[in-house]
């Protein structure tokens, strides 16, 4: 990941938008997903499930 340099605090607060279809957008999303996968210890079974309560949902999570 590159180091970004800013000339002022105003530049720092400006959002860095990427246009749809920009390859950098996909790279940034991939990095975010990879980071969240590495830092989260919660895994979910594949598929779509209905739960009757939060407790039932919690009992079906897979701890990594």
The pLDDT assigned to 63 comes to: 60
Q: Which residues form the domain of 19?
A: 15-63
8 within domain boundaries: no
The pLDDT assigned to 34 comes to: 92
29 within domain boundaries: yes
34 within domain boundaries: yes
CA distance 34 to 40: 10
CA distance 30 to 24: 10
3 within domain boundaries: no
The pLDDT assigned to 1 comes to: 60
33 within domain boundaries: yes
44 within domain boundaries: yes
The pLDDT assigned to 4 comes to: 77
The pLDDT assigned to 64 comes to: 53
Contacts of 60 (CB under 8 A, 6+ apart): 45, 49, 51
């Amino acid at each position: 990941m590159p180091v970004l340099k800013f000339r002022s605090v105003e530049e720092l607060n400006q959002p860095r938008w990427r246009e749809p279809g920009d390859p950098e957008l996909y790279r940034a999303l991939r990095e975010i997903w990879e980071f969240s996968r590495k830092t989260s210890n919660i895994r979910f079974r594949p598929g779509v499930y209905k739960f009757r309560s939060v407790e039932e949902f919690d009992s079906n999570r897979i701890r990594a």
